[in-house]
Structure 1
C-alpha cells in the first residue's frame, strides 16, 4: 500500500465505524463500506477520524477495524491516532503502520495556545512516531479550539518533513488555502498536500483556491469524486450545478451533534450499514428528522445529472 506524500491528491473518504445496537463492531458492514467506496472511485480511505467514534473504541478494536479494511482493499488508508499521550499514540501507530496503513492523522490537544507550542507539539509527534511515518495535521479549530495560523503551518511544513498533508477544516478558511499556496509559490514553505473536510461544505471553492481534494465523510462520496474531477478538468459550471443539488443534504448533515446520526441513517438507507447505531453515548434521528432526510433524498434523486441510488 503506497504511503501518502506531499503531492497526494484526490478524495480520501472518511468511513464511519459501524456498530450493532448492542455496541459491538459490525465488521460485515465495514467490508460493505470498503467495497462501496472503491466502486465510488475514491482515491483512499480515512479511519478513526472525528466521525469514526474513535474515542469510544479500545485500542484492540481500533486495530481490528484497520486490519479489516486494509485486508479488503489496496486503497491507501490513513488512520486517526490522536491521543492524550504519546505512549498510546505511538503504540497504535506502530500497529496500524505494520498492517499497511499509508499514514496517520493527528489533531492538536486543546491545551496548545501559542504558535511555539503548536509547532513544538508536532515536532515531538514526528520524533515519537518516527521519521518514516507520514503525518496528516488536522486543522479543525471549531472542534479542537486550537488556531493554526498560516505562519504556524508554514513552520511545521518546513521543520517537520514527515508532516506531508494538511486536513483543512478551518471555517472560514478559503483565504487560508490561498495564503498557503502563495507562501509555497514564494518559496517560503515546501509543498503540503491539502485535503479538505467539513463534510464538503465548501469544496466547490476550496478546489479553486488550491486544495488537492477532499478528506471527509459526506454520505455521497460520488459527489466528492465528481467535484474533484470536474474541477480538475475545468468544468466549473457543471461542478457547481452538481454541488448545488447536494447542498441541502450537505447542510443538513453538518448540524453539530446530529451529523453522524444523519450520515449513518443515510448509509443505512443506502444498504451499506446494517443499522444506524452509534456506540454510547450517541443518538439516533427522531421520526421527524428521518422524514426530513427522506425528503432531501427524494429531492436529490429528482435532480438531473445527480448520481445516487
Structure 2
C-alpha cells in the first residue's frame, strides 16, 4: 500500500489491549483483523483512544510493529507521534519510519501555547528532521489540546508544507472545517473529522475527507461512509441515528466502553484500562448493551464480565 495515497473514509484509532502483566500483542493483531474485516480505509495507532500516555516506550513500539505486521501493506497506517518536545516527536517519527510509516499525527504540545507562529515553528522544526513525513495536524479541544482557531490552523498549514492533513476536533468542528477548507493551500490534502464520529454527517457535508472514530463499531461507520459517498444520504443518516446512543455513552466511558463492546463482539478478552476512565456499573452496563443492540450489529452479551 502506497502510504502517499490520499487518506479518505474511516480511519479508526485502535485501542490498546492490556493483559494483567502488560500489553497483549496477539490481541492487538486480532483488533487489526477486526478492522480489516470491517472494511476500514486505514488505522491509527497510538492516539488518545489508545491510552498512549499510559504506554512505555517499549510497549508503544512493539504494539505499532504488531499493527504494521498485521496490516501487511493493505491499508495506510497512521502513527501517532505527539510529544512534549521536538526531540520526542522526531524520535517517534523515526521509530515509525523504521516500520515503513510516513503518515504522522501530531498534536502540538500545550506547553507552546495556541499561537500560530509557535505551533508553526514547532512543526517546522519536526518537518526539517523528518522531511519524508506527511503530517496530520491534530487540533484537539481544550483542556486536552491547544484548541487552535481556524485562522491559526491555516497559518500553520501555509507555513509548514509537510502538514498535509488536519484532524479537526474542536467544538463545534463543522464551522472550523468549512473555514479551513475555504482558505487552505493546495498542498493540504484534506481535513479529517474527530469527536468519535458523533458529528460525522455534518463534517462530511462540509467536505471532510475522512473520520477517525474509535474501533468498536467501525463496520457500521464504514457502511455509513459508503452510503454517504454513493449519494444514499437517507441510508447514511439512518445508520448515523442508530450509532448515536452508543456514541453518546462512549463520550463518557471512553476506552472502557470500547473494550466492553469489543468483548461483546468476540474480539477483546477484557476491558482493562490504564488511563483514568469512569467505571461501568450494572445500570450503565445495561444502557450500553441496549444502545449497542440498537446499532444492529449483533446480539449483546449479558455482561458477565462486568
TM-score scaled by structure 1?
0.90
Q: Which moved more, 1:239-248 or 1:191-200?
A: 191-200
Query: For residues 37 and 280 of structure 1, do their structure 2 counterparts lie closer, same or farther at Cα, with a shift above 3 Å needed?
Result: closer
SS in 2 for 1:33: helix
Describe how 1:83-232 pairs up with structure 2 within 5 A. Answer: 83-111=83-111, 112-128=113-129, 130-184=130-184, 190-232=187-229
Describe how 1:1-309 pairs up with structure 2 within 5 A. Answer: 1-4=1-4, 7-20=6-19, 22-73=20-71, 74=73, 75-111=75-111, 112-128=113-129, 130-184=130-184, 190-255=187-252, 258-279=253-274, 281-282=276-277, 284-301=279-296, 307-308=297-298
Greater RCO, 1 or 2 (C-alpha within 8 Å, sep 6+): 1
Whether the aligned pair in 2 keeps the contact of 1:109 and 1:144 (CA below 8 Å) is no
Whether the aligned pair in 1 keeps the contact of 2:15 and 2:215 (CA below 8 Å) is no
Whether the aligned pair in 1 keeps the contact of 2:254 and 2:277 (CA below 8 Å) is no
SS in 1 for 2:43: strand
SS in 2 for 1:253: helix
Query: For residues 281 and 173 of structure 1, do their structure 2 counterparts lie closer, same or farther at Cα, with a shift above 3 Å needed?
Result: closer
1:219 shift after superposition:
1.7
1:245 shift after superposition:
1.1
| Matching residue of 2:302 | none
Query: For residues 102 and 271 of structure 1, do their structure 2 counterparts lie closer, same or farther at Cα, with a shift above 3 Å needed?
Result: farther
| Structure 1: distance between partners of 2:102 and 2:44 | 10
Query: For residues 141 and 280 of structure 1, do their structure 2 counterparts lie closer, same or farther at Cα, with a shift above 3 Å needed?
Result: closer
1:115 shift after superposition:
2.3
Unaligned runs of 5+ in 2: 300-306
1:32 shift after superposition:
0.8
Whether the aligned pair in 2 keeps the contact of 1:140 and 1:170 (CA below 8 Å) is yes
| Structure 2: distance between partners of 1:91 and 1:179 | 33
Whether the aligned pair in 2 keeps the contact of 1:15 and 1:47 (CA below 8 Å) is yes
Unaligned runs of 5+ in 1: 302-306
Query: For residues 87 and 77 of structure 1, do their structure 2 counterparts lie closer, same or farther at Cα, with a shift above 3 Å needed?
Result: same
Size of the alignment, in residue pairs?
296
